[in-house]
């Protein structure tokens, strides 16, 4: 059984409460969060009362937090305590997954990538950090996921190698076809099979016009990707994790929150239909 999860990111220019209101109105039962809203970080890492506040807030909108996005806190250059705090935060809110990224693969995007020596040095530090993170994740009963975002998670084969080097069942893959297409110019339909066995969550991001650095992220199910084929492959691989709606803005230009609401509902309906057609039961 899988879940369709609405990330609050499309409402980044609105208060966090408006994001939850929009997701609830669009029919979502499960939410993901962890990005800033109108410039304020959510969650507030410094506030010890934050878990209780958010627990009450999610409850008031009839939503269950399912994934915590904690991309900045896990970077190897930052204190390990910040990553552990996000794991503790997820545990306190009974969130089963904390979503993170590999390291950035560029000195200057998109023209100056890291040198091979820079890449290997950073990768060694990354692997060591995540082996430590995995032990904390196991202790707290939370799973950490890495999603494609250049560097050592850029594509399926690279992500698979990173996961094997970390070597923990508490660090798995969150596949993001839109990032594979946008950053690498790789068709996700041919990339996903290499890492499908390690995928425990899926970001339903797709390009309306596919191609390297084509910033054209359609409403999921209305773009150029073969979601039915990818969902069918994931089902055969035993996937039963969350399917996350992350992008709805198409070209990155601001849209009114009411339009975001409408697109969020279309995304949920599209994904529910496609998942059921692929043989999933949607919770």
**pLDDT tens series, the chain, 283 aa:** 899 999 999 999 999 999 999 999 999 999 999 999 998 999 999 999 999 999 999 999 999 999 999 999 998 889 999 999 999 999 999 999 999 999 999 999 999 999 999 999 999 999 999 999 999 999 999 999 999 999 999 999 999 999 999 999 999 999 999 999 999 999 999 999 999 999 999 999 999 999 999 999 999 999 999 999 999 999 999 999 999 999 999 888 899 999 999 999 999 999 999 999 999 999 9
283 located within any domain: no
Give the CA angle between residues 96, 99, 104 to the nearest 5°. 165
235 located within any domain: yes
Total domain count for the chain?
1
Q: Give me the pLDDT at residue 112, please.
A: 97
**Distance between CA atoms of residues 154 and 120, nearest Å:** 14
pTM above 0.95, yes or no: yes
114-155 pLDDT per residue, tens:
999 999 999 999 999 999 999 999 999 999 999 999 999 999
94 located within any domain: yes
103 located within any domain: yes
Q: Give me the pLDDT at residue 76, please.
A: 87
> Residues for the chain: how many in total?
283
* DSSP H helices in the chain: 16-25, 50-60, 80-92, 116-140, 156-166, 177-184, 188-191, 227-236, 257-277
239 located within any domain: yes
Query: b or e along 264-280 (b: 16 or more beta carbons within 10 Å of the residue's beta carbon)?
Result: bbbbbebbbebbeebeb
Q: Give me the pLDDT at residue 37, please.
A: 97
Q: What is the CATH number of the domain that holds 42?
A: 3.20.20.150
Identify the three-state secondary structure at position 179.
helix
Return mean pLDDT, the chain. 97
Q: Give me the pLDDT at residue 34, please.
A: 98
91 located within any domain: yes
Check if the beta carbon of residue 66 is closer than 8 Å to that of residue 97. yes
233 located within any domain: yes
Domain that holds residue 203: 3-277
Check if the beta carbon of residue 175 is closer than 8 Å to that of residue 203. yes
């Amino acid at each position: 059984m899988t879940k369709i999860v609405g990330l609050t990111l499309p409402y980044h220019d609105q208060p966090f409460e408006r994001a939850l209101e929009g997701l609830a109105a669009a029919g979502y039962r499960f939410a993901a969060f962890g990005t800033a809203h109108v410039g304020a970080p959510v969650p507030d890492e410094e506030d010890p009362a934050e878990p209780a506040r958010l627990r009450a807030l999610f409850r008031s909108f009839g939503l269950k937090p399912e994934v915590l996005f904690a991309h900045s806190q896990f970077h190897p250059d930052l204190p390990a305590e910040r990553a552990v705090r996000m794991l503790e935060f997820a545990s306190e809110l009974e969130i089963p997954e904390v979503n993170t990224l590999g390291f950035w693969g560029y000195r200057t995007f998109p023209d100056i990538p890291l040198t091979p020596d820079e890449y290997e040095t950073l990768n060694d530090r990354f692997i060591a950090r995540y082996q430590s993170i995995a032990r904390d994740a196991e202790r707290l009963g939370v799973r950490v996921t890495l999603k494609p975002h250049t560097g050592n998670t850029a594509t399926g084969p690279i992500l698979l190698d990173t996961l094997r080097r970390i070597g923990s069942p508490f660090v798995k893959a969150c596949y993001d076809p839109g990032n594979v297409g946008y950053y690498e110019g790789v068709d996700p339909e041919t990339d996903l099979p290499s890492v499908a066995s390690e995928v425990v969550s899926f970001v339903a991001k797709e390009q309306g016009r596919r191609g390297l650095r084509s910033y054209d992220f359609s409403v999921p199910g209305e773009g150029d990707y073969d979601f039915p084929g990818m969902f069918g492959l994931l089902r055969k691989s035993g996937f039963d994790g969350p399917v996350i709606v992350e992008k709805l803005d198409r070209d990155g230009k601001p849209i009114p929150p009411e339009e975001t609401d409408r697109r969020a509902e279309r995304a949920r309906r599209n994904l529910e239909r496609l998942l059921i057609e692929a043989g999933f039961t949607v919770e």
